[in-house]
Amino acid sequence: MRAEHAGLPWWKGAAIYQVYPRSFMDSNGDGVGDLPGITARLDHIARLGVDALWISPFFTSPMKDFGYDVADYCDVDPIFGTLADFDALVDRAHALGLRVLIDQVYSHTSDLHAWFAESRQDRTGPKSDWYVWADARNDGSPPSNWQSVFGGPAWTWDARRGQYYLHNFLSSQPQLNVHAPAVQDALLDVARFWLDRGVDGFRLDALNFAMHDPLLRDNPPAPPSDKPRTRPFDFQQRVHNQSHPGIPAFIARLRALTDSYQGVFTVAEVGGDEAEREMKAFTAGEEHLNSAYGFNFLYADVLRPGTVCAALAEWPDTPGLGWPSWAFENHDAPRALSRWCRPEHREPFARLKMLLLACLRGNVILWQGEELGLTQVDIPFEMLRDPEAIANWPLTLSRDGARTPMPWNADAADAGFGSAEPWLPVGAENAARAVDRQEGDPASLLNHTRAMLALRNRHPALHHGAVAACRAAGDLLVLERSGEGERIRVVANFGEESVMLDEGQGAGEVLAAINGANAERLPGFAALVVRL
C-alpha cells in the first residue's frame, strides 16, 4: 500500500503508469484494447504501487494518428467503449487508490472535428479564426517555410477558403489558433468536462506547439550537426511555428481552472531544442503547470551516468522552479532495453534501470510493459500502422514496435490480450515475459519493480527529497538524495566490467543491492542503495 507523505500534494514524487488503450487489454475480441479492458486489469496497476495511471487518448477520432487526432474532445470513440465505460473505470481506479490522468491535445484537432468543418467554410464565420489560416504567397507557395514533424510542408491548401491551413503533424491534424480567446475558452470547457467526470489531472500533449508566430516568419536553417536528419523538419530551427512566449499565459488560465478543483495534477510534454527553457517557463511558480517532462532519456541512444547528472542538474531544489517528471520509455519512443544494452545484458540492465528510475528526484512515469522488461518488436513494413514510420521508412524506428499488445498469459495464442488477431503482433520474445510468468517469481523484474517503487515510497529522501550530490566517473554514478532528516546514497555501475568502490563509498544501511553489489565492489550493471 502506498504511504502518504504529510503536507505534500499527492502528485509530488508520484509514480505514474502510462496505459495505451489500444494495446492494454481487449475486452470484446475485436483486436483493439478498450476501456473495459483497462478496468479489468486495474488491479495489476495498483499492485505495482504507483499513484496514478495516465491513459493515452480514447476520444472520438478517425485514428489517423491513433487518437491524437481528436474529432470530439468530449466523447469516447466507439472502439474504446462509452462514456459510461470511462466513468466505471474512474470509479474502479479510485476504489483501488489510483488517480486517473488523461491526455489533452490542445495544439491541434482532426480535420473531422466540427470546429474545423465550420472554420473552413468561409473567412467570416464565428469560427473562421479558430485554426491557423493564411493566404498563399504571390507565387502560390505556402505562407512560410515551416515543415511538419511527419514530413513535408506544414501547410495544406484548402480550396473552400482559398487559403492554406497550418498543421505541425499530419495534414489531417489542423493547428488550432490558441491565440484566440474563444479557442482558449473552448479548450478550458473541455478540461472542465473531464474534471467534472472525476479525472485527477491531465498530461498535455505537444504543448509547445499550441501557439505560432502570427507574422508567419520563416524558420532559420539549423546549424550543422552530427545528428542524422531524416525529415525536412530536422533542417530548421523551429523558432516560429512553436515555442511562442504567449503559451504560459494560457497555461495560467488552465491552472486557475484546475485549482478550483481538488488535487488536480497537470504535466506537459515538451520536446525540441529549447525543451529545458520551455519546461521551466511552463511550470514556474504556483500559477502554471505542476510539472513537465522532456526527452532527456526517451530518445537517448545510451544511458550514461553523465546523462543522469546533467538532467537532474537542470532541476535543483530552488524556490519557484518547477517540479520535473521523468520517463525512460513511452508510446513515441523505442523501448529502452532495445536502445541501451545488448540482448545478453537485458536482464541485469532492466533491474538497474528500474532502480535508477525509482531514485530520481521528480515524478517517474512507467510505460506499460516496462515493468516486464518488454523490448522493441520488429514490425515488418506491411504491418506498420504508425504514420510517421510509414512516411519515413526505413530511417525512423517505428513507434509501433513499442506499442505492441501487453502480454498477460505466456501460453495463450494472443498472450492473453483478448483477441486472436490483435491490431499489432505481440512479439514472441515479449510473450515469454508475460505477467503470469513473472507474478509468482520473486526474482522477476515485475516483483523487482514493485520493490523499487515501495523503496521509493518508504523513504522521503527518495520520494521527494533534494539531490544532495550527483557525480559521474566513467561508468560509475554516485547519486545522493536528502530529505526529512535522512540521506541516501545510490552507487550504480552502468558498464559491463566490475567497479571497485572507494573506501566508505558503499558504507551505510543497505536498502537495496542488485546484480551482486556489495560495499566494496559493483559487478557489471550492479547498484547499491544505502542510508548514510
Q: Which three cell numbers stand for residue 282?
A: 511552463
Identify the CA nearest to 335 among candidates 267, 394, 277, 403.
403
Grid cell 510509414 in the structure block, residue: 390
Which ranges constitute the DSSP H helices of 102-180?
Answer: 114-119
Closest alpha carbon to 250 in 272, 281, 280: 281
Selected catalytic residue, list 69, 205, 278, 414: 205
| C-alpha closest to that of 364 among 422, 314, 323 | 323
Q: Is 87 a catalytic residue?
A: no
User: How many angstroms separate the CA atoms of 268 and 281, rounded?
Assistant: 11
Beta bridge partners of 164: 134, 157
Select which of 269, 370, 371, 480 is catalytic.
269
Q: Could you tell me where the beta strands, DSSP code E, fall in 213-311?
A: 265-269, 291-293
Whether residue 269 lies in the annotated active site: yes
d(CA 71, CA 418): 27
Residue 513's alpha-carbon distances to 32, 278, 361, 492, 526, in angstroms, are 40, 37, 20, 10, 8
Look at strands 265-269 and 133-134 and give their pairing.
Answer: unpaired
DSSP strand pairing (499-500 vs 476-483): unpaired
Beta-strand relationship, 265-269 and 201-205 = parallel
Question: How many Å apart are CA 70 and CA 76, to the nearest integer?
Answer: 10
Residue 379 near residue 424, CB atoms below 8 Å: yes
Which of 8, 464, 46, 1 lies closest to 263 in space, CA to CA?
A: 8
- In the chain, the amino acid numbered 221 is P
Grid coordinates given for 466: 533534494
Contact 57, 80 (CB under 8 A): no
Supply 327's cell numbers: 520517463
Cβ atoms of 291 and 325 within 8 Å: the answer is: yes
Residues marked active site are found at 205, 269
